């Protein structure tokens, strides 16, 4: 499995119309969670965030919102931001434009957000052009790697702590498959970033 913990600068330059980070002067970083809501993970993530008094942004899959409406409502009620992550978690490189856009719009009926993040970070340019008429397309510049079976909790924490800077958008996952790693790493990540005087912001 290949992925970049720190998004290459060339990629952010070539696709500069996408949101990779949110530069600021007050050491604010942005925690984001993809794929939820999920039955056993969302509440645990919300509990950590509540205990640490931190707000985050959740990029939700429409089918999961439909399945767990109460969890989706909890995310919003606790003051977190929500974004569209398609209805069925489609790969934008393997899906034709019409099907992809229809899937996004199906999710929008439930999520109702101007934020969008493509699953796997994969989006073809035709879909991108149309989506940008309605959505802010939010990517990331730091990937924790909680989805990587070969990484330990300590590795995930290290990936984030060693690569963030003011304005960084960090991607983690609200996903049953990675639950133990994400939930265990999250409070450590937050505490270590706080110790470095970082703040946490919402994407809107």
Alpha-carbon distance of 108 to 115, in angstroms, equals: 10
| Annotated active-site residue in 34, 103, 108, 146 | 34
In terms of Cβ atoms closer than 10 Å to its own Cβ (0-12, 13-18, 19+), residue 3 is exposed
| CA distances for 113 relative to 108, 137, 145, 183, angstroms | 7, 11, 26, 25
Closest CA to 59 of 163, 5, 147, 138: 138
User: What count of other Cβ atoms lies within 10 Å of the Cβ of residue 67?
Assistant: 13
User: What count of other Cβ atoms lies within 10 Å of the Cβ of residue 199?
Assistant: 14
174 given a catalytic annotation = no
| Annotated active-site residue in 80, 85, 89, 173 | 173
Alpha-carbon distance of 39 to 117, in angstroms, equals: 21
User: What count of other Cβ atoms lies within 10 Å of the Cβ of residue 116?
Assistant: 23
108 given a catalytic annotation = no
Question: Is the distance from CB of 28 to CB of 22 less than 8 angstroms?
Answer: yes
Alpha-carbon distance of 93 to 85, in angstroms, equals: 15
For the annotated catalytic residues, the residue numbers are 34, 173
């Amino acid at each position: 499995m290949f992925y970049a913990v720190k998004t290459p600068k060339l990629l952010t330059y070539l696709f500069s119309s996408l949101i990779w980070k949110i530069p600021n002067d007050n050491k604010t970083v942005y925690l984001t969670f993809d794929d939820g809501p999920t039955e056993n993970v969302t509440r645990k993530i919300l509990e950590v965030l509540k205990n640490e008094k931190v707000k985050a942004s959740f990029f939700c899959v429409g089918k999961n919102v439909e399945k767990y409406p109460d969890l989706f409502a909890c995310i919003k009620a606790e003051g977190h931001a929500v974004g569209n992550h398609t209805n069925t978690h489609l790969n934008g490189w393997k899906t034709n434009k019409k099907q992809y856009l229809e899937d996004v719009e199906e999710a929008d009926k439930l999520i109702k957000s101007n934020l969008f993040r493509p699953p796997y970070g994969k989006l073809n340019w035709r879909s991108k052009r149309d989506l940008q008429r309605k959505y802010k397309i939010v990517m990331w510049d730091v990937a924790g790697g909680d989805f990587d079976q070969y990484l330990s909790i300590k590795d995930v924490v290290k990936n984030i702590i060693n690569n963030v800077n003011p304005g960084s958008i960090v991607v983690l996952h609200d996903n049953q498959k990675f639950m133990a790693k994400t939930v265990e790493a999250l409070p450590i990540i937050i505490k270590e970033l706080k110790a470095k005087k970082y703040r946490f912001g919402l994407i809107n």
